[in-house]
Amino acid sequence: MADILFYVFAAATLISALLMVLSPNAVNGAIFMIVSFVSTAALFVLLEAYFLAVIQILVYAGAVMVLFLFIIMLLDVERDDGNYLKDKLSLAASIAGFSLVAILIVSAFAGGQHLPETALLPVAENPVGEGAGLEFTTSAKSFGYSLFTKYMLPFQVTGFLLLAAMIGVIVVSKKHEGEVGK
């Protein structure tokens, strides 16, 4: 059952991502992007990262994509003509990029030196015992424990980053003195 769900949601993620890239209308693209993010959240559920699945839907499919849709509709951008490969440079660039990915996939998953196919480890619901806080569990408790022990410094730095981003956005979007009335 979980296998079928994996294939369904992996296909939904990839197809809606491709539709996002190829749709001429940016609003349709944003809607396909939301579908892609929600399917990714489903993949997180299959990997038993429930907390991240919820965060993915709240932050990405919620806040970030609402911001994107808002800006797209506010700026009222023109449609693309849908003919993306008319200049030679982007054609060459996409061929080069996709051959790099093809080389990556072939070298990682075929031939003699492919990655080992590990089995799924059993997972506890809650961290048990001393020093087990950094092991993978399905509870949000593990996040709190890791954030306040091993990842204390990155946690604080991220807080400052959010503050800097907030101040930066206010400064960037402020009208300058000379611009008033333009």
Partner 1 sequence: MTVGLNAFLIVAGLLFAIGLLGVLIRKNTLVIYMSLELMLNAVNVALVAFSRYNGTMDGNLFVFFIITVAAAEVAVGLAIIVALFRKRQSVMVDNLNALSR
Site for partner 1 in 50-69 (CB under 8 A): 51-52, 55-56, 59-60, 63-64, 67-68
Candidate list 114, 128, 148, 152; residue touching partner 1; CB under 8 A: 114
Angle between helix 2-22 and helix 26-46 axes, rounded to 10 deg: 160
CB distance 16 to 33 below 8 Å: yes
Report residue 145 as tokens.
Answer: 């424990």
Fill in the amino acid letter for 139. Answer: S
Angle between helix 65-75 and helix 26-46 axes, rounded to 10 deg: 180
* Interface characters, 94-113, with partner 1 (x: CB under 8 A): x--xx--x--xx--xx----
DSSP state of 117: -
Note whether 38 binds partner 1 by CB under 8 A. Answer: no
What is the sign, positive or negative, of the torsion defined by CA atoms of 102, 107, 112, 115? negative
What distance in Å separates the CA atoms of residue 48 and residue 17, rounded to the nearest whole number? 23
Q: Select 2 or 113, whichever has its Cβ closest to partner 1.
A: 2
> Site size for partner 1, by CB under 8 A?
81
Minimum CB separation from partner 1 for residue 128, in Å? 14
Residues 123-152 that bind partner 1 (CB under 8 A): 123, 133-137, 142-143, 146-147, 150-151
Note whether 21 binds partner 1 by CB under 8 A. Answer: yes
Note whether 154 binds partner 1 by CB under 8 A. Answer: yes
Note whether 8 binds partner 1 by CB under 8 A. Answer: no
